[in-house]
Amino acid sequence: MKQMLKKITALLMTGLLNGCVMLNTSSSSSSESGMDISEINSSYSSSSSTNNSSSNNNKKTEVIFYHTMNALKSEYLNAFIKSFEEENENIKVTPISAGSLPMLQNDILSNNYNGKVATMALCYRYNVDAFVDNNRSISLNQYINDSEYGFEEDDIRDFQNVGFWNEGSDAYGNDGTFYSIPFSEFTDVLYINTDLMMEYGFKDPNDETKPYTPQTWDEMWKLCKDLKELNPSITPLGIDSEHNMFITLCEQYGIPYASFDSNGNKSVDFNNSNTKDLMQELKDNYDKGYFKIRNGGKLLSGDLLTKRTAMCIGSTLDAPYYLNDPEFDYDKNNIDISPIPQKNINNPKSISQGFVITLLNGEGITKEQTLASWLFAKHITSTYNSAVYALLTGCEPVRESSYDEYIYQKYLNVPNEGEKLLSKVANVASNLKGTYFSYPAFMDSDIANKELKNLIVKILNGTNIDTALGNAKNLICDSIK
């Protein structure tokens, strides 16, 4: 682990670490947070009482960063912290792993901090949605727009051009009020067993060394029909996430499924005639044996690798299981990757999910801590650092300029041996910039996720579509009241 930290830190320090702003410390602090930045005098005397600060660090502003990273990703985080603290000697960043996202959300909402009150959190948008509803996440607008510490217009366009920026407001039903900024993102792609496709003669018409990849759902169902006729024992397509499939198809087909009214109230809209038609189409294709779903079991990567399916729609986050799973003996170069099928190739829609950063209020959090937390958020989402984290984890960078960084271009075009597999995924995902859509964060909550999965499972297993849609809507509506 120490060697890993040294390696990552060296990588970070060789780049231009954008977003590293010195926080001057020269006068007294306030116990309030979320005030106008112009009112913040960012230093305080040694006798000041500040949240979570020890006597040995009472001249430093402490950032308490809650997250759920595993041991390896925590090493990456520690490298970011090291580079930030070297540039900002008067700030101390204390990372705390909450274990899981439900535990992180519960700790923040219940103030269960064991003496360390979180000043910021790395979590999913649905967690932020709960924090917004309970007045725990603060508006980022004053920090984003601040003339000294905020983002330049070019920075905001840099985020916007990838497609993740507006979710920081839209996902929570707020017109222009931002509660999060993107940190790392992932999407769904189509994993393809090249050998199986080539064996049955399904080749790319423009390059016969590659498998045929359907661009639309009509092409996909036609391919599934042809494969099934050639080999009735296989299920042509696997789908790992019923939840993602439902939301993506509704978005691609232009079918209402969730929204906010003019007052920001949450609305569940999927119980409509268009959704019923879409669900009937899925049911018909399922009954023909064209696809299977995960249904709470293992990832369907094993089915793809052992040729029980020819294709699988799965997350880029799960790419290691598709491309380098030690459980199975297979040619790792035999798995190809392409974008998922679209309803309309001229208006492509790709789901985006991932980790975002939010700033928190709470008892004892000072304005200085909130500003220091913002500066750390800027640091770890800088052009270079976003590129570094993406190539280390297989996630997508959140800035367009990150794709142009030398290290990321090398990762895409001339990867080393250990990077080749994830580089294949990154090359597909890098072409999806601009296709990502925003959707209400409450549709990702534990209950909504569970009920959308159950909805698909029940319909495919024969439950009346009207009944299934009505029950799912009622259960999700009850959860957001």
DSSP for 275-338, please give it. Answer: HHHHHHHHHHHHHTT-EEE-TTSS-THHHHHTTS-SEEEEEGGGHHHHH--TTS---GGGEEEE
Compute the distance between CA of residue 335 and CA of residue 326 in angstroms, rounded to an integer.
Answer: 14
User: Would you say residue 163 has pLDDT above 90?
Assistant: yes
Angle, in degrees to the nearest 10, between helices 446-460 and 465-480: 170
How would you label 41-79 residue by residue, b for 16+ Cβ within 10 Å and e otherwise?
A: ebbbeeebebbbbeeeeebbbbbbbbbbbeeebbbbbbb
- At residue 35, the pLDDT reads 38
Q: Is 16 in contact with 401 (CB distance < 8 Å)?
A: no
Tell me the C-alpha distance between 8 and 10, whole Å.
5
Runs of H (alpha helix) within 148-272:
153-160, 167-170, 194-199, 217-230, 242-253
Mean pLDDT of 355-364: 94
pLDDT of 36 > 50? The answer is no
Task: For residue 18, give the nearest of 141, 159, 180 by alpha carbon.
Answer: 159
Distance of CA 2 to the CA centre of its chain: 28
Task: Provide the pLDDT for residue 221.
Answer: 98
Q: What are the C-alpha distances in Å from 431 to residues 221, 259, 428?
A: 24, 28, 6
Answer whether residue 146 shows pLDDT above 60. Answer: yes
23 pLDDT exceeds 50?
no
Are 135 and 141 contacting, i.e. CB atoms less than 8 angstroms apart?
no
Q: What's the pLDDT band for 43 if we cut at 50, 70, 90?
A: very low
How many whole angstroms separate alpha carbon 335 and alpha carbon 344? 26
pLDDT of residue 7 exceeding 70, the answer is no
Lowest mean pLDDT among 319-323, 403-407, 442-446: 319-323
359: three-class secondary structure by DSSP: strand
Find all residues with CB under 8 Å of 476, minimum gap 6, and list them: 268, 443, 447, 448, 451
pLDDT-above-70 percentage for the chain: 87
| Residue 458, φ and ψ in degrees, nearest 5 | -65, -45
Q: What is d(CA 432, CA 185) in angstroms, rounded to the nearest whole number?
A: 12
Query: What per-residue confidence (pLDDT) applies to 72?
Result: 87
Give mean pLDDT, residues 312-332. Answer: 81
Q: What's the CA gap between 158 and 151, in Å, rounded? A: 10
C-alpha 474/C-alpha 268 separation (Å) is 9
pLDDT at residue 401 greater than cutoff 70: yes
| Nearest-angstrom CA–CA distance, 330 and 194 | 12
DSSP state of 465: H
Judge whether residue 446 has pLDDT over 70: yes
Give pLDDT, residue 325: 73
3-state helix vs strand vs coil in the chain, percent to 5 = 45, 15, 40
pTM of the model: 0.87
* Stretch 9-38: mean pLDDT: 39
> What pLDDT shows up at residue 397?
96
- Quick: pLDDT tens for 288-308: 999 999 988 889 999 999 999
Residue 303's contacts (CB-CB under 8 Å, 6 or more residues apart) are 235, 238, 292, 309, 312
pLDDT at 1 over 60: no
- Report residue 177 as tokens: 């009020």
Tokens 């901090």, located at residue: 113
21 vs 368, residue with greater confidence: 368
Mean pLDDT of all residues in 374-401: 95
Among 424, 223, 307, which residue's Cα sits nearest to residue 212?
223
106 has a pLDDT exceeding 50: yes
Dihedral of the alpha carbons of 338, 340, 342, 345, in degrees to the nearest 10? -20
pLDDT at 188 over 60: yes
Q: Which residue has the higher pLDDT, 424 or 224?
A: 224
Taking all residues of the chain, what is their mean pLDDT, rounded to a whole number? Answer: 87
Span 247-273, pLDDT tens digits: 999 999 999 999 998 888 999 999 999
Q: Give residue 6's pLDDT.
A: 52
